[in-house]
């Protein structure tokens, strides 16, 4: 798909006028703010062109999640790798991302690597330690931070810790209790003689070990001081390599069914990391509701993923599909900020819409040709905090059902011989994409790729979006429109008005003081206008105002 017909016609108009020598014929059109566009068919591309990103060095970033196995192949083996990611860093930076979260890169027998064999190495399929160090250096050269996925709830049963423990129990006489002074690793996992839910038998012995996810993923005993010492050493090693922070996996499973104990364990991990490097950033996966997430924030962790807004049944999907009112978007953000802020005044929210465990968002809305998918992701990116985007969402990739389908190869192009393309996870079904490849979308003003780049551009240009406090505007918000201030004492205030429905709306903003339309985001070729305090928002569009 190339540039839209109106865009092409505008160019032709300019050329014809030049050839015919007609003065005053430029093919330009007035935009909401009175600026002019010569060729762009989408208002935002001209209106926002002068916006520049802020220069903030803090944890309020825009982060790209990469499932390493499926992103970019550098050596022709069909498997994504570190050097493949390095080759795409300019692409990631151009989109506006300022941080990268890589799914686990440690050696493992699985394609997903969430069962770690060795915490101090890189899986050979992904590269070498030297490749990873070069990746870190090149990210930092571009102002991009890197978060390492740190899986501490469990290891692989091929991990040397577990193999040593298993060998000890295999030779332990029946009826004897284990003695950590003979084998320290027997205390690294949760062994018992009593069978129970979530426990697997240790073959050849009378013992069972906790393995909640899978019998080849034995759960670590995170209350063990020896295990906590290992965690300190692991973080010290990778922070020394230049890692900027850690994404902590499955923190609600550290001690099954015990949020208070999980919070205590989480606090100890965070404190250890900060004692090594005060600037170490932590974001954790607590797949639960808002109230329990708030409890985990009392650990003093920086961020927790905001699950209530994610997935096909979260706040965003229910609002954009019409099950909830547009005004509920503002109410949801206010409830989250209040709950999380009460538990940790220094919290940095971690909004996201999808990740590697969820179906791709382009599959949520069957009859959508793009506008609904675009606006839903903008709703995620316009929340406060460190916003996370799963690779491929910027081009509307599809994938649902079993996990492998959700981790399909990045759709760089339609060319089967494109060297960047990965083969995809074993057992992945054929996934037919809904939208064109990145190569095609980069040439289209109306594409999802163009939309993502513009939304992130606006997010980065106005620091209040990520760092401010939300305040609802009840006189403007309704079933179709979400309006809210994003206030920041040092930077200033913004007013953001979103049309979350498929029809044009008009709003009278004259009672809200002196406003200047500072940025626009359009999902179609109709322009946003603001004259005499009257705002006209076409279907699925966003206006951003500075407040005097």
pLDDT confidence of residue 35: 40
Closest CA to 219 of 238, 234, 197: 197
pLDDT digits over 236-264, tens only? 999 999 999 999 999 999 999 999 999 99
User: Which of 144, 97, 93, 143 has the alpha carbon at shortest distance from 466?
Assistant: 97
Predicted pLDDT at 105: 98
Q: What is the pLDDT of residue 548?
A: 86
What confidence score (pLDDT) does residue 416 get? 83
Taking the CA atoms of 283, 286, 292 and 298 in sequence, report the sign of the dihedral they define.
negative
The residues with which 536 forms a beta bridge, in sequence order, are: 506, 529
Cα gap 397→53, rounded to integer Å: 27
The pLDDT assigned to 21 comes to: 40
Give pTM, 2 decimals. Answer: 0.92
> What pLDDT was estimated at residue 39?
54
Domain boundaries, the chain: 62-152+224-461, 160-210
Phi then psi dihedrals of residue 367, to 5 deg: -95, 5
Q: Give 3-state DSSP helix, strand, coil % of the chain, rounded to 5.
A: 35, 15, 50
Sequential pLDDT tens for the chain (548 residues): 333 433 444 444 434 334 334 333 333 333 344 444 345 679 999 999 999 998 888 999 999 999 999 999 999 999 999 999 999 999 999 999 999 999 999 999 999 999 999 999 999 999 999 999 999 999 999 999 999 999 999 999 999 999 999 999 999 999 999 999 999 999 999 999 999 999 999 999 999 999 999 999 999 999 999 999 999 999 999 999 999 999 999 999 999 999 999 999 999 999 999 999 999 999 999 999 999 999 999 999 999 999 999 999 999 999 999 999 999 999 999 999 999 999 999 999 999 999 999 999 999 998 999 999 999 999 999 999 999 999 999 999 999 999 999 999 999 999 989 999 999 999 999 989 999 999 999 999 999 999 999 999 999 999 999 999 999 999 999 999 999 999 999 999 999 999 999 999 999 999 999 999 999 999 999 999 999 999 999 999 999 999 98
CA distance 510 to 487: 19
pLDDT at 435: 96
**Model pLDDT, residue 398:** 96
The pLDDT of residue 334 is 98
Rg (CA), the chain: 25
Q: Domain 62-152+224-461: give its CATH superfamily.
A: Glycosidases (3.20.20.80)
Q: What is the model's pLDDT at position 55?
A: 83
């Amino acid at each position: 798909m190339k540039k839209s017909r109106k865009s092409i016609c505008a160019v032709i108009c300019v050329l014809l006028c030049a050839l015919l020598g007609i003065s005053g014929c430029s093919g330009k059109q007035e935009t909401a703010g009175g600026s002019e566009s010569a060729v762009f068919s989408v208002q935002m591309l001209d209106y926002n062109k002068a916006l520049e990103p802020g220069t903030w060095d803090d944890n309020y970033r825009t982060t790209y999640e990469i499932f390493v196995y499926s992103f970019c192949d550098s050596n022709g083996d069909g498997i994504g790798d570190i050097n493949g990611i390095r080759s795409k860093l300019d692409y990631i930076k151009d989109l506006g991302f300022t941080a990268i979260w890589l799914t686990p890169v440690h050696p493992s027998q699985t394609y997903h690597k969430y069962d770690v064999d060795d915490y101090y190495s890189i899986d050979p399929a992904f590269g070498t330690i030297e490749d990873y160090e070069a990746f870190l250096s090149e990210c930092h050269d571009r102002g991009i931070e890197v978060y390492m996925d740190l899986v501490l709830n469990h290891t692989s049963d091929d991990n040397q810790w577990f193999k040593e423990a298993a060998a000890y129990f295999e030779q332990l006489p029946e009826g004897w209790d284990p003695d950590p002074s003979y084998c320290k690793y027997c205390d690294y996992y949760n062994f018992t003689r009593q069978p129970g839910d979530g426990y697997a038998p240790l073959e050849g012995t009378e013992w069972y070990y906790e393995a909640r996810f899978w019998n080849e993923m034995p759960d670590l005993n995170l209350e063990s001081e020896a295990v906590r010492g290992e965690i300190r050493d692991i973080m010290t090693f990778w922070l020394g390599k230049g890692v900027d922070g850690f994404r902590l996996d499955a923190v609600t499973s550290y001690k099954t069914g015990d949020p208070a104990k999980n919070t205590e364990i989480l606090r100890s991990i965070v404190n250890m990391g900060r004692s090594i490097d005060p600037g170490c950033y932590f974001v954790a996966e607590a797949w639960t509701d808002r109230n329990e997430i708030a409890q985990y924030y009392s650990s003093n962790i920086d961020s927790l993923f905001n699950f209530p807004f994610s997935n096909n049944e979260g706040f965003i999907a229910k609002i954009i599909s019409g099950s909830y009112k547009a005004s509920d978007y503002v109410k949801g953000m206010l409830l989250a900020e209040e709950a999380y802020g009460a538990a940790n005044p220094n919290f940095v929210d971690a909004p996201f819409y999808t990740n590697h465990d969820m179906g791709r968002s382009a599959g949520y809305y069957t009859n959508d040709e793009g506008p609904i998918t675009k606006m839903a992701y903008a709703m995620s990116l316009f929340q406060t905090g460190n916003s996370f985007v799963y690779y491929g969402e910027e081009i509307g990739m599809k994938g649902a059902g079993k996990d492998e389908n959700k981790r399909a190869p990045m759709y760089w192009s339609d060319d089967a011989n494109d060297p960047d393309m990965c083969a995809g996870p074993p057992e992945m079904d054929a996934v037919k994409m809904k939208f064109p490849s990145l190569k095609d979308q980069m040439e289209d003003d109306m594409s999802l790729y163009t939309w993502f780049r513009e939304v992130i551009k606006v997010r980065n240009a106005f620091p209040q979006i990520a760092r401010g406090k939300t305040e609802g505007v009840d006189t403007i918000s309704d079933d179709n429109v979400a309006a809210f201030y994003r206030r920041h004492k040092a930077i200033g205030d913004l007013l953001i008005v979103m049309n979350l429905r498929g029809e044009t709306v008009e709003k009278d903003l004259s009672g809200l003081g002196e406003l200047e339309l500072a940025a626009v985001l359009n999902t179609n070729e109709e322009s946003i206008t603001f004259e005499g305090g009257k705002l006209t928002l076409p279907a699925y569009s966003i206006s951003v105002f500075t407040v005097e």
